[in-house]
């Protein structure tokens, strides 16, 4: 009798827990640092009653996590645009977007159209744009004013004073600076391999100049802030963040072109709260909310009219880094075909081991 009592109590408790879990809805968001600042999460909770659980990550980890769970564990993810179609084709981890649930009037039309086009697989659209930005150079202009392009990082004058990541954007940036067009070779594996081998050789020679390969954004910021390095290849937002503390340091668009990326909203295949995901997208694309995200992430969004809410300093920094010509010269990442990562991986391993 006693046993039964305990058992029924346990069942009662468990069902009680289950109902409370249902009562407060939850949105599990897998995103980048800065894209879901506390202030915005709190405003969203207040308006909708939905709790937002934020997990910070990067492109590769997002795809790997979803690959491991076959698209479960999160309700909304934010990979970059070039990683949507290929990951969907290879691993089937995403779910098509129901565009009727999204308020498209809040988006900058050209960006929405571009993202839709690039993330279409078998006639279904998988992504809408959120934050965009670029990779280029962060330079301490007081010391290294003559660094104008990626390959300038290898100048002997800056031996031991340079940092960049050992990742694919570095390979692609250097390829452009060396007069190649890696994006045009995306479809031709042999040609791409040839370009990458050439870049690999250059980066191996350049290794003596590198102080350390940075991996996290904080590592980069502290290297530049402390003056341990004077030039880096990195994201624009990092340069602008440093610029607020030290006016000499800022983001410089390289002469061969900054590399442009768009981080998107995508539904994982086994999303449990699709409705909340759409609510979140429509909420953060409001111009005033989008401006708050710009303030925290440092990058601009695809939200129409949010420029009016962005603080003047951020706008001035952006204009200082990008002339009209620089903007036209941005090289936007096309969707990555499958298999390129293997070619790049080998090259990156060799550079590191050399």
Partner 1 sequence: MGNLGANARLKLGLWLLLMPLGLWLLLLIILPHFELLIFSITDPEDGAFTFEFYFEFFTEPLYWRTFLRTAVMSILATILTLIIAFPVAFYIAKMLKGRSKGIVFAMCLIPFWVSELVRTFGWMILLRESGVISNFLQWSGLAAGPVELLYTDATIMLGLVYSSMLFMVVPLVSTLDSLDDSYIEAGYDLGGTNWNVIREIVIPHAIPGIVSGCIIVFMLSLGNYLTPVLLGGKDSLWFTEQIYTQFITRFNWEQGSAFGLLLLVLSSLIVWLGLKASGQSFTKTMG
Nearest CA to 228 out of 242, 148, 134 is that of 242
- Which helix H or strand E contains 34, and what residues bound it? none
User: What size, in residues, is the chain?
Assistant: 354
**Residue 188: helix, strand or coil by DSSP?**
coil
47, 181, 188, 349: which one contacts partner 1 (CB under 8 A)? 349
Q: How far is the CB of 84 from partner 1 (least distance, A)?
A: 14
Which tokens go with 146?
Answer: 């003559």
211, 269, 286, 304: which one contacts partner 1 (CB under 8 A)? 211
Q: How far is the CB of 136 from partner 1 (least distance, A)?
A: 21
Q: How far apart are the first and last CA of the chain?
A: 72
The residues, any chain, with a CB within 8 Å of residue 5's CB and separated by 6 or more, are none
Cα 292 from Cα 230, distance rounded (Å): 30
Helix pair 287-297, 274-284: axis angle to 10 deg: 80
Bridge partners of 26? 51
16, 49, 305, 345: which one contacts partner 1 (CB under 8 A)? 345
110, 215, 319, 323: which one contacts partner 1 (CB under 8 A)? 215
Cα 245 from Cα 242, distance rounded (Å): 5
The reply on whether position 203 binds partner 1 by CB under 8 A is no
Bridge partners of 30? 55, 77
- Which helix H or strand E contains 212, and what residues bound it? none
Q: How far is the CB of 249 from partner 1 (least distance, A)?
A: 15
51, 191, 193, 350: which one contacts partner 1 (CB under 8 A)? 350
Q: How far is the CB of 198 from partner 1 (least distance, A)?
A: 19
Q: How far is the CB of 280 from partner 1 (least distance, A)?
A: 26
The reply on whether position 210 binds partner 1 by CB under 8 A is yes
Measured from the CB atom, is 33 or 37 closer to partner 1? 33
Cα 209 from Cα 260, distance rounded (Å): 26
Q: How far is the CB of 215 from partner 1 (least distance, A)?
A: 7
* Size of site (CB under 8 A) for partner 1: 24
C-beta separation of 147 from 137 below 8 A: yes
4, 5, 226, 308: which one contacts partner 1 (CB under 8 A)? 226
Q: Which stretch binds partner 1 (CB under 8 A): 149-157, 220-228, 249-257, 258-266?
A: 220-228
Near partner 1 in 41-70, by CB under 8 A: 60-61, 63-64, 67
DSSP letters spanning 239-258: HHHHHHH-TTEEEE--TT-P
Measured from the CB atom, is 57 or 306 closer to partner 1? 57
The reply on whether position 213 binds partner 1 by CB under 8 A is yes
39, 42, 47, 228: which one contacts partner 1 (CB under 8 A)? 228
The reply on whether position 188 binds partner 1 by CB under 8 A is no
Cα 107 from Cα 111, distance rounded (Å): 7
Q: Which stretch binds partner 1 (CB under 8 A): 21-29, 205-213, 235-243, 247-255?
A: 205-213
Q: How far is the CB of 75 from partner 1 (least distance, A)?
A: 22
Q: How far is CA 243 from CA 138, 162, 236, in A?
A: 10, 18, 11
Cα 29 from Cα 75, distance rounded (Å): 6
- Positions that interact with partner 1 (CB under 8 A): 60-61, 63-64, 67, 90-91, 167, 207, 210-213, 215, 226-228, 341-342, 345, 349-350, 352-353
């Amino acid at each position: 009798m006693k046993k039964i009592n305990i058992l029924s109590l346990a069942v009662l408790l468990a069902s009680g827990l289950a109902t409370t879990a249902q009562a407060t809805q939850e949105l599990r968001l897998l995103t980048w640092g800065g894209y879901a600042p506390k202030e915005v999460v709190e405003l969203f909770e207040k308006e909708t009653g939905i709790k937002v659980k934020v997990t910070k990550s990067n492109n590769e980890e997002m795809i790997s996590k979803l690959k491991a769970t076959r698209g479960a564990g999160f309700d909304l993810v934010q990979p970059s645009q070039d990683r949507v179609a290929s990951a969907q084709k290879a691993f089937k981890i995403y779910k098509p977007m129901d565009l009727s649930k999204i308020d498209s009037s809040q988006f900058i039309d050209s960006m929405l159209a571009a993202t839709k086009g690039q993330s279409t697989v078998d006639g279904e659209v998988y992504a809408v744009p959120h934050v965009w930005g670029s990779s280029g150079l962060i330079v301490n202009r007081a010391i290294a004013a003559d660094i104008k392009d990626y390959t300038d990082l290898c100048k002997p004058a800056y031996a031991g004073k340079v940092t960049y990541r050992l990742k694919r954007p570095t390979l692609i940036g250097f390829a452009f600076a060396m007069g190649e067009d890696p994006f045009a070779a995306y479809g031709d594996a042999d040609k791409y391999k040839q370009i990458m081998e050439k870049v690999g050789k250059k980066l191996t020679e350049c290794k003596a100049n590198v102080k350390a390969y940075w991996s996290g954004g904080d590592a980069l910021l502290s290297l530049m802030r402390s003056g341990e390095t004077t030039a880096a290849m990195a994201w624009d937002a990092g340069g602008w963040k440093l610029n607020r503390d030290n006016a000499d340091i800022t983001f410089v668009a390289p002469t061969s072109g900054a590399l442009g990326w768009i981080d998107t909203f995508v539904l994982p295949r086994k999303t449990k709260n699709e409705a909340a995901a759409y609510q979140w997208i429509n909420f953060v694309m409001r111009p005033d909310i989008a401006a708050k995200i710009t303030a925290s992430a440092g990058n601009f969004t695809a939200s129409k009219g949010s420029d009016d809410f962005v603080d003047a300093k951020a706008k001035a920094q952006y204009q200082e880094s990008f002339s009209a010509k620089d903007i036209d010269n941005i090289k936007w990442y096309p969707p990555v075909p499958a298999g390129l990562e293997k070619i790049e991986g080998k090259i990156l391993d060799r550079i590191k081991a050399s």
